[in-house]
Homo-oligomer: A and B are copies of this chain.
Amino acid sequence: MSAQKVAYLGPEASFTHLASKALFQDELLVPIRTIPECIEAVANGKVDVAVVPLENALEGTVPLTIDYLFHEVDVSVIAEIQAPIEQHLMVHPNNHKKWEEITSIYSHPHALAQCHKYLYYRFGKVPLEQSTSTAAAAKFVSENEKACIAAIGNSSAAIEYGLTIVEHNIHDFHFNHTRFFVLSRSNHCIQKPGHIGQVKTTVMITLPKDDRSGALHQVLSVFAWRQLNLSKIESRPLKTGLGQYFFVMDVLEDEQMPMMIGAMEELKALGCEVKSLGSYNTYETEKKIASD
């Protein structure tokens, strides 16, 4: 693959940055501040590829990513990256000894939610402050050493901003992974060695306007009788009214295979609108990437 420009949801040392580095060792990585700006950058051709978070095993889908891909742009998924998420409590080294006296804790709302029980039982009275990312929280703590405050984030953020980890792995559930989408204007999926599992196709389906009883059941029948496995199904509001949804489905098959071509044609014949994000492989970051 030729040298490319890869946008990722920044800042540096964010979880998305860690995931991006695992797949793109030789490309130029560019941090971008928000998910819509990241996706726009690839849609407009300012970068070749964009990496954005899609779904966390605890918190669920990142609505902004799914909704933007459905409503606003036409880009393809050319790879998926799965990364373990390990959250640590970190302070400025000058506050290392008195870390148990912290007066507030900064992190992204998802990270705070992922450590909800730890924070509730260990620091129930310490106010929680939201930041735009775990890395931004670490940066803020590094710049305010006089305040005895802490950040929650990954170990790269601790290294990047010179903080000391005082409690490791404070996330409530042991199994905590995040999926990232690698997006491109082209639909040529990335073919690097080491991908895991089966090829996956993500489709977004809107049911027929005359939403008769069992329309979703009919849609699932199209996949079921062909033994096409769905690894995910999720509904998102269409933004036209309560109770009106589109469905995001991950099918464990390549969209070029005859069974998939038949299924897509049948869905359209049923009156569904179908938007495919393409077929792609899944890569896992090394466990070490997010640990120490």
Contacts and interface: CB of A to CB of B under 8 A. Distances in A.
Contacts of A229: 213
Shortest beta-carbon contacts, A-B, top 7: A214-B224, A217-B224, A217-B220, A57-B242, A234-B235, A60-B237, A213-B229
Nearest to A172: B239
Interface of A: 55-60, 63-64, 82, 109, 113, 130, 173, 175, 177, 179, 213-214, 216-217, 220-221, 223-224, 227-237, 239-243, 245
A236 B60 CA distance: 6
B213 A224 contact: yes
A241 B84 CA distance: 11
Contact of A243 (B217, B232, B235, B243): B232
**Protomer copies:** 2
A44 to B, nearest CB: 15
A224 B243 CA distance: 18
Per DSSP, chain A at the interface is mixed
Contact of A242 (B55, B214, B220): B55
Contacts of A173: 239-240
Given A217-B221, A224-B213, A237-B60, A177 B230 contact: no
Contacts of A213: 224, 227-229
Contact of A240 (B175, B227, B230, B233): B175
A113 B235 CA distance: 19
A57 B241 contact: yes
Contacts of A242: 55, 57, 82, 177, 179
Contact of A241 (B64, B177, B228): B177
Nearest to A177: B242
B217 A223 contact: yes
A80 to B, nearest CB: 10
20 contacts: A57-B241, A57-B242, A58-B239, A59-B63, A59-B237, A60-B237, A82-B242, A109-B109, A173-B239, A177-B241, A177-B242, A214-B223, A214-B224, A216-B230, A216-B233, A217-B220, A232-B243, A232-B245, A234-B235, A234-B245
A257 to B, nearest CB: 16
Contact of A130 (B58, B130, B227, B231): B130
A252 to B, nearest CB: 9
